[in-house]
Amino acid sequence: MNISTARHPRVRALPGILALGAAGALLLSGCSEPTAATESAEKPAAGSAITLGDPADLDLVVDGTLTVHADEPVWSPWFVDNDPSNGKGFESALTYAVAEKLGFSEDVVTWGYTAFSASYAPGPKEFDLYVQEVSITEDRAQAVSFSDPYYVSRSVVVAKANSDAAAATSVDELAELTFGTVAGTTQDSYITDTIQPAEVLSYDTVALSTQALENDQVDAIVVDLQIAQNVVLNQYDDLTIAGLLKDNGKSKGMGFVLDLESTLTPYVNAALAELEEEGTIDELAETWLPLPADVREYDQ
């Protein structure tokens, strides 16, 4: 599937989120001396600093290889040309930057496939890291481990241009509309908890909810800003971004998914903290996820 390489808008993560997580990542707690049989799978002892750069220190699915999975297809601006391995797009570039911090060259980063919903489902994982705009939630964190957040995205309302939905200026006016949603997503929660419209129709994918909007089965949908840009710029000429929703304080941001209680997690957090401190994450966001100046925010 061909994915547009057009660059799209971004909303930066909240200041200090990664730095705060880094403090906890750099010093690990441990309550007992690991046995020889379990030493390689245990965290460093209390007070030990995380040392990055040696894959031999890491408990991996395949020794010497960083196995990263994503769904199919993957979308711009997170990835480009439906190819996670090319280093283009925010999440592809970030993954390789994290891999380098961990001590992996590009040729030993192996990409594979896991369905999005399966990435955070209970059970052992066939990947070291999963990356595809996975929002960190308390429910998901019961079954998997998450890295510290690397990005906090805002949600927008997409509607048909020149429609009543596109003309709405407040959440109260949005509540009068019929919304399409993908069940279980953070956007679904925003619709039901904050907008509280009279009618919400659920679909299996964003593509199906967008098609329902195009077919006039719903008045509007709520998606991430970057997805919306791809939809209105590259897929549907008659759809528009109607407005930017205020943060309702419930988003914890996006993170890498790891197996539950993975000993790799503190190393990934330390890598993210270094990349944040060096300004690399900001640079990647400015390159791949620039924020447009003409998107209005709804009145509450």
The DSSP code sequence of 92-126 is HHHHHHHHHHHT--GGGEEEEE--HHHHTSSS--S
The structure's pTM equals 0.68
Contact in structure between 189 and 200 (CB atoms under 8 Å): no
Average pLDDT of the residues in 82-111: 98
Provide the residue type at 26 as one letter: L
Confidence of residue 5 (pLDDT cuts 50, 70, 90): very low
Mean predicted lDDT score pLDDT of the chain: 84
Confidence of residue 26 (pLDDT cuts 50, 70, 90): very low
Q: Do domains 17-30+47-152+251-288 and 155-244 have the same CATH topology?
A: yes
Fold of 155-244: D-Maltodextrin-Binding Protein; domain 2 (3.40.190)
> pLDDT, tens digit, for every residue of 30-68?
333 333 333 333 444 444 578 999 999 999 999 999 999
Region at 84 (left for phi over 0; alpha for psi -120 to 50; beta for the rest): alpha
Q: What percent of the chain has pLDDT over 70?
A: 82
Q: Which CATH class is domain 17-30+47-152+251-288?
A: alpha beta
pLDDT top residue among 86 and 228: 86
* Domain assignments of the chain as residue spans, ordered by start: 17-30+47-152+251-288, 155-244
Radius of gyration of the chain (CA): 20
* 3-state secondary structure at position 223: strand
Distances (CA, A) of 250 to 21, 150, 155, 225: 18, 16, 12, 17
pLDDT at 48: 55
Residue 193 has pLDDT above 60, yes or no: yes
